[in-house]
Chains A and B, each alone.
Chain A
Amino acid sequence: MSGTFVGMPAFPKAAHEAVRDERLRANLRHATHTIRDKRARAVAELDDWAALREAGKRIKDDTLRHLDTYLLQLEESVTAAGGTVHWAADAAEANRIVTDLVKATGETEVVKVKSMATQEIGLNEHLEAEGVAAYETDLAELIVQLGEDRPSHILVPAIHRNRGEIRDIFRDRMGSWGRPAPDGLSDTPAELAEAARLHLREKFLRAKVGISGANFMVAETGTLVVVESEGNGRMCLTLPETLISVVGIEKVVPTWRDLEVFLQTLPRSSTAERMNPYTSMWTGTTDGDGPSAFHLVLLDNGRTDALADEVGRQALRCIRCSACLNVCPVYERAGGHAYGSVYPGPIGAILTPQLRGTASEVDASLPYASSLCGACYEVCPVAIDIPEVLVHLRERVAEEGGRGHRLERAAIKASTWVLDHPGALTAGERLASAARKALPKRLPGPGARQWTDHRDLPELPAEPFREWWRKNRT
């Protein structure tokens, strides 16, 4: 399996494989149900949850409406605090900026804090091609990197792996990346964590350059914030001489008071904790304390396209908590890889097609990867109406008229015509009822086959309701 998502098949095709993988299904079911239940309990503890959710939504909407103003204020604050701000329009520009900054230090390796933005732009692969080794230091990201795997969850990238698989990856792969796993490594959590600790400690102490993302950027002071559970992020943020942070432009919040809302909703929504174990905040550089050089790369990469879409822009409120993944029945069965993006699950299904467009097969299929059950919207801490955006993106895909959609539009038009002509509808119903005995259990043709592969058709009634009404009530 390659480390990138390029050339992924459409969602239904990828999911076809995933639903048959019994071990994957069991891993995902166990993990998502555990987090889901814990989150529900953590959220129920707060009697002002609804107000926090509404506040988070409004803060994000207000910030997005005046994004230009807050980004310029942020640049000014970061610069005044001793940092340097770079603006990247797309992935290629961001990768080039970061690579040049690393090369200017003369270093050939970097340590990384878990970051969705750098995964989105494929930074590790780009650095590798330029002769720079990037070491992931988040435990789950380490598992993914060592296993030459892809992340399948925003918060828990190795959610598709169980303890036995992780033990095997550590045993077989750690040696080629640095300190090997201890002899006789078992699959107990304590031993696995210790193996990772020993392996990573070597890298933390050696690294001169750290690369991170950020959960939030505070415009008024130029402060960046990373929330995490392991402390490995804090090691990367404080030990190296140079720190480079790559952050999506939608991560800015105006003030520290705004931050207060999200520092309550994010941990409860993501890890079901009242407070996350490590919250690191840094403002530019400080003499004799932490990195002496700080660079902030502000990443657009499709975000302003999403911002221009009145319905779709709410996806930019996302604080990457993963609550929507953990409650999604489709994610639970299909797994994260099927979404063909570093952003899987319901949020990925609305974010990816907006950031990348809908030209590729997988991107065009994502808006349909949902039964519109609404569980995602219910748990979203910034009230993103994911079903609404999914339907909106379906409209966009249908309008673009790609593969199969011209035929679909014709079928939909025909169905509307019949349903809008009661005479034709009644005739059709009579015909179906008359033919009901002759219908086979499995039918050919698009739509019918997919239905009858798994289900019997209903026994059609002797007469439609409107016939009964005509005979009995008129």
Chain B
Amino acid sequence: MRVALFVTCVNDAVFPSTGVATVRLLERLGVTVDFPAAQSCCGQPQFNTGYRAETAPLVRRTVRAFEGYDHVVTPSGSCAAMVRHHYPSFGTDAGALAPRVYELTEFLVDVLGVTDVGAYFPHRVTYHPSCHGLRLLGLGERPRRLLEAVKGLELVELPGAEECCGFGGTFAVKNPDVSAAMGADKITNALSTGAEVLCGADNSCLLHVGGMLRRQEAPLRALHLAEILASTEEEPWA
């Protein structure tokens, strides 16, 4: 099977390791991965801040970049939700991309039909389900089932897991105090689990929570789910 990787702008610029991990994981599962270089940003930050006209060129670019692909896979619940829920309001062509975009765990579980991806990650991990994956995509148990099948991984419950971490795109800079207060509570909950890794499927949330963890020099690091799933006994992920 041939798929297009929609790496997302945040991953491209700030978290390339998540993109590399996604490629490695998919290739290990026998999938041929293309990276259409014309891709850029899905337009979510502009759209959610109220700039619809400024979003349109990015929607057009994204739609053109993935023309001809039946499966477009992205390691971001938030960007997948942007395409699925909001692209149809930008016209027929944009709407046609919506059902072809899969968040990574959806693609693995629903399309490839795998939950054991042969990963090995001998660490104590807790999982934060980001809001857009949770509520807009309805990812449900998919991430958990994938994590539970990882050899050596001890999955511990995150208290208040379904509460927003406080990132919210431009919310984090427009309402910095409330955003930080939400992030602080998320971190307190994550630290209470005794986990070494706070795992998520959206790096924008992890940018926020991870940044707060580093500021506090907390004994916990944020890591994208794809990087855990990419890790094997032969080739452990850093």
Binding site for B on A (CB under 8 A): 11-12, 15-16, 19-20, 25, 329-330, 333-334, 367-375, 377-378, 391, 393-398, 408-409, 412-413, 415-416, 419-420, 422, 425, 429, 432, 446-447, 450-451, 453-458, 460-461, 463-469, 473
Q: Are B178 and A465 in contact (CB under 8 A)?
A: no
Contacts of B172 in A (CB 8 A): 450-451
Q: Are A415 and B136 in contact (CB under 8 A)?
A: no
Which of B105-113, B142-150, B210-218, B225-233 is the contact stretch?
B210-218
Contacts of A369 in B (CB 8 A): 175, 178
Known: A371-B164, A416-B58. A394 touches B50 (CB 8 A): yes
Q: Are B13 and A429 in contact (CB under 8 A)?
A: yes
Can you list 16 contacts pairing A with B, beta carbon distance less than 8 Å? A12-B176, A25-B181, A329-B164, A329-B182, A330-B182, A371-B164, A371-B182, A374-B132, A398-B50, A413-B54, A420-B61, A461-B17, A463-B16, A464-B12, A465-B20, A466-B12
A432 nearest in chain B by CB position? B13
With A368-B170, A373-B131, A455-B208 known, 18 other A-B pairs at CB within 8 A are A12-B176, A19-B181, A330-B178, A372-B48, A375-B164, A394-B49, A398-B49, A409-B51, A409-B54, A415-B45, A416-B51, A416-B55, A453-B180, A454-B180, A454-B215, A464-B12, A466-B12, A468-B16
Bound-state Cα–Cα, A372 to B77, Å: 14
Partner of A371, one of B40, B54, B131: B131
Chain B residues numbered 171-229 whose CB sits less than 8 Å from any CB in chain A: 171-183, 207-208, 210-212, 214-215
Least distance between A367 CB and chain B CB atoms (Å): 7
B interface bracket (residues with beta carbon within 8 Å of A):
35 or more
Bound-state Cα–Cα, A422 to B23, Å: 21
Bound-state Cα–Cα, A253 to B179, Å: 39
Least distance between A419 CB and chain B CB atoms (Å): 4
Q: Are B136 and A395 in contact (CB under 8 A)?
A: no
Least distance between B137 CB and chain A CB atoms (Å): 11
Verify if B1 is at the interface (C-beta below 8 Å from A).
Answer: no
A331 nearest in chain B by CB position? B178
Bound-state Cα–Cα, A106 to B194, Å: 69
Bound-state Cα–Cα, A432 to B13, Å: 9
Verify if B14 is at the interface (C-beta below 8 Å from A).
Answer: yes
Contacts of A465 in B (CB 8 A): 7, 11-13, 16, 19-20
Bound-state Cα–Cα, A456 to B183, Å: 13
Bound-state Cα–Cα, A394 to B178, Å: 19
Bound-state Cα–Cα, A372 to B47, Å: 12
Q: Are A420 and B58 in contact (CB under 8 A)?
A: yes
Least distance between A465 CB and chain B CB atoms (Å): 4
Bound-state Cα–Cα, A466 to B13, Å: 9
Bound-state Cα–Cα, A422 to B58, Å: 11
Bound-state Cα–Cα, A416 to B40, Å: 10
